[in-house]
A and B are shown apart, each in its own frame.
Chain A
C-alpha cells in the first residue's frame, strides 16, 4: 500500500516538474499551431479537406507525443541523477522500482493532458470546418495514447543507463523500427515470392525481418487513422487486444528499467 502511495507522490511531483518545462510548452504550442495549420492544408490540398485535417491532426498528436517523451521524458531521470536530487529521494524508505514507476506515470499523465488538449482542439477544428467529427476518432486518439505510453516506457528505460543524447537516438530508432517493421517483413516476403533474390539470401532476409518484427514493439498497430477517417469499422476487439499488447510491452520495458536502476551506483 505504501508503495502505491509512494508511486503516486513521485508521479505527482514528476507531473509538476514536467509542466514547468519550457520544452513542453514549445512542443504543445507547435502542435496546437500545426493543428490549426491543417485547416489551411485542407484548403490547399487536392484531397478531401476533412481527410487532410483528420490525418494531419492525428499525425501531429503522435509526433508531438513522441517529442514530449523524448525531450521531457529522457531528461527526467537524468536530471535527478545529475542534479543529485536522487540521493535524498532514494534514501527515503522507497524502492527504486517505485521511483521509476512513479516517474513513468507522471510523464504518462503529462502526455494524457497534452492529448486531451489536442483532442479538444481537434474536435473544435472539425466542428469549425464542418468536417464531420465522429466518435470513432476517439479510438484513434486512444491508440496514439497507448503508443505514447510504450514510447515513454522505452525512453525511461534508455535513460536509466545511457546519456540523454544516446537515449533520444535509441528511442527515435525504436520508434521508427516499430513503425516500419511490419512493412519491412511484407516487402521481404513480397520480394521472395517474386523470386528477385536467390533462395539462401531471401531466407536470410526474411529471418532478419521476422526478428526485427518480433523484437521491436509493433507501433504500426496503433496507427488506425485510415480506418477512422474513412469510417471503416475496426476489427473486433482491436482496441482491447492492442491495449493488452501495449501493457505487455510497457511491463517488460519498466521491469528492465527497474532492474537496471536497482543495480546502479550513485556516486
Chain B
C-alpha cells in the first residue's frame, strides 16, 4: 500500500536557509491490510515522513508510492485519510459542519454524506451532544477524535494517523485503539506514528523504528525484539554482597537475591561465580526486551 525507497529530505531553515538533513535513505514497505506502527523519539523524522506520504512536503530524492500513486497527485489522496498531530480545524464550525465540509471536498454528498458522518463520529465515540457544538469549545481529546473521524469519512483504503493517541485519556486511547483494529478488520491499511509503545506493541502487525532520520529497525514486533539484546534475571537463594558479584551485574531494586545480567556473557560469568561460590541458583529468567527497550538502545547507539 505504501512503498518508500531511499527517501531523502532536507529542510532549509533560518534567514540564511541553512540545510538540515531530516531524512536519510529511508526505505520501508507497508503491506496492504496491515497495521503499521511508526515509532521514534521526538525530532526523528516521523511527522516529516508522514507529511511526505500525504503530499504536504516534497521529497528531495527517492521514491514514494501511496496506493500506487505519487503523493503529489490528488489521485493518491483519494485513497487515503489523514489526521495530523494535534489537529487544528476551523473553530467557528461545529463538529458536524466540519465533517460536511471535508466530506464535500472528498466528493461525498447528500444522504450518503450524512450517513457517513454518523458512522465516523460513532466509531470514535464522538457523541451527538458535542458533535453539534462549536469546535472552539472542544478539549484536546475531542479534537483528536474529530480528527480521526474526518480522516475515515471517505472510507479510505489507507489511514495515516500522526500521533492519534496523544492528548487522549485512557478511555479515549482505548477507543482509538479499538477503532484502528475495527477499521483494519474491514480491510483498511493503517499507518500511524506513536510514542505510546505499549499500544504499538498491542495492535501493530509491523513496526518501523526511526532514529535521527534513519530507519534503524523494521519488522514485526517479534522480529525487532528478538534481534535485540535480552536481559537475564537470575534468582539465588541467599543474599550476595554486591561487591562480590562480577562487574556489570546489578541487583534488581534492593533485592540482593535477584540479579540482572545485560547479556549472555554477563549471565555466564555470574553463573560461574555462583557455581564456584557454592551459591544455589533458584531460576534463570530470559526476559525479552520491549519495544521501549529496543528504542532506548537504538537512541543510545545513535547518540554515541
Using a CB–CB cutoff of 8 Å, the interface residues on chain B facing chain A are: 11, 48, 51, 54-58, 74-75, 77-78, 80-84, 86-90, 92, 101-102, 104-107, 147, 150
Contact = CB atoms under 8 A, between A and B. Distances in A.
A87 B105 contact: no
A95 B57 contact: no
Given A85-B88, A90-B54, A266-B51, 13 more contacts: A5-B104, A17-B90, A17-B92, A84-B86, A84-B87, A87-B82, A87-B88, A88-B88, A93-B105, A94-B105, A265-B56, A266-B57, A267-B48
A20 B56 contact: no
A16 B150 CA distance: 20
B105 A92 contact: yes
Task: Label chain A's interface by main secondary structure.
Answer: helix
A13 B80 CA distance: 23
Nearest to A87: B84
A40 interface: no
A93 B77 CA distance: 5
A9 B107 contact: no
Given A17-B90, A267-B11, A91 B77 contact: yes
Interface in A1-35: 2, 5-6, 9-10, 13, 16-17, 20
A20 B104 contact: no
A198 B30 CA distance: 74
B82 A9 contact: no
Of A13, A89, A92, most B-chain CB atoms within 10 Å? A92
Nearest to A2: B107
Nearest to A82: B88
Contacts of A94: 74, 77, 105
Q: Which 8 A-B pairs have the closest CB atoms?
A: A91-B82, A92-B105, A93-B77, A93-B78, A266-B56, A84-B88, A87-B84, A93-B74
A9 B51 CA distance: 24
Contacts of A83: 88
A263 interface: yes
21 contacts: A5-B104, A9-B101, A16-B92, A84-B86, A85-B89, A87-B56, A88-B83, A88-B87, A88-B102, A88-B147, A89-B105, A90-B54, A91-B82, A91-B84, A92-B106, A93-B75, A93-B78, A94-B77, A263-B58, A265-B58, A266-B56
B95 to A, nearest CB: 13
B92 A267 contact: no
Contacts of A13: 90, 101
B88 A267 contact: no
A5 B107 contact: yes
A85 to B, nearest CB: 5
Contacts of B54: 90-91
Given A16-B92, A93-B77, A93-B106, A84 B55 contact: no
Contacts of A89: 105
Contacts of A90: 54-56
